[in-house]
Amino acid sequence: MNKKFIVSTIIGSLLIPAMAIAQSTTTNTETVLTVTAVTPTPAQLFTSCSQIATEKRGNALSTAKKTYDTAIANALSTRREAEKVALAITNETEKKTAIRLAMDTYKTTVKNTQTESALARKNATTEFETDMKSCSETKKAMLAKDLADKKSNIAEKKTEKKENVAEKKGEIKQAIEIKKEEIKKVQEEKKVELQKIGEEKKAVVEQRKIEAKTLRENFKNKLENLRSFFKKKAPAVAVPETSTTTTQ
């Protein structure tokens, strides 16, 4: 119960004055108030917690001292009045008995008051130690949380960096694949173009061969025609007979 109370008090005392930093901006028509939240550090929280615990112990000890002083003063006043009444008794035996009773009552009251005061001081010290332990535990918990948050942030950054690197690698790989496809496409187009040029050249060569063959045939035909023509126009020439002489 004390832990919850003191932690709630600490958080309230820190958050109310420290967690709101106000900045006002005045325009022509209105004033805009900007509030920025500030989270207390573990050291600040521990300091505030310790201050509250110290104040609580001081108040408890002060109250115990005031209660003790008031009880002693009342006991003294009671003893005084009882002794005054006892002194008015005429019988000496009864007077002594009354005075002794007043003193005994005073001693008992003082003893009980001292016991109660010692118990109050002990309770104040015990509660102070419990509160300080709670402050330390709260500080440790905040430090552990901060450390866990930092580790989590580092892990998230590593994961994000890893994902970015993987994404970048994927983009580079995709770009390389696209470039390869483009180069392959260009090479295929070049191959088709060269094949087409080769076929066209081959066709031209074949055409020239055909033309050359046609020219040769035409030339041959014309030559035959000329021979036939001159053969028809030339006169007949007698061929003399040749004799063979045999020598014996």
d(CA 52, CA 10) in angstroms, rounded, equals 7
Task: Encode pLDDT of 173-186 as tens digits.
Answer: 999 999 998 898 89
Please report which helix (H) or strand (E) contains residue 194, including its range: helix 92-233
Task: Encode pLDDT of 221-237 as tens digits.
Answer: 888 888 888 877 766 55
- Residue 126, pLDDT score: 97
187-216 mean pLDDT: 87
Q: Looking at the predicted structure, is the pLDDT value of residue 146 above 70?
A: yes
- Residue 18, pLDDT score: 43
Tokens describing residue 232: 């028809």
Task: Work out the mean pLDDT of the chain and round it to a whole number.
Answer: 83
Q: Looking at the predicted structure, is the pLDDT value of residue 116 above 70?
A: yes
The residue that leads in pLDDT, 65 or 16, is 65
140-144 mean pLDDT: 93
57-63 mean pLDDT: 96
- Residue 234, pLDDT score: 66
Q: Exposed, middle or buried, 173 (CB in 10 Å: 0-12/13-18/19+)?
A: exposed
- Residue 17, pLDDT score: 45
**Residue where the block lists tokens 């173009």:** 193
d(CA 125, CA 106) in angstroms, rounded, equals 28
Q: Looking at the predicted structure, is the pLDDT value of residue 241 above 80?
A: no
Q: Looking at the predicted structure, is the pLDDT value of residue 59 above 60?
A: yes
- Residue 199, pLDDT score: 86
Select from 67, 43, 171, 178 the least CA-distant residue to 123: 67
Tokens describing residue 141: 């918990």
Q: Which of 32-46, 75-89, 125-139 is predicted least confidently?
A: 32-46
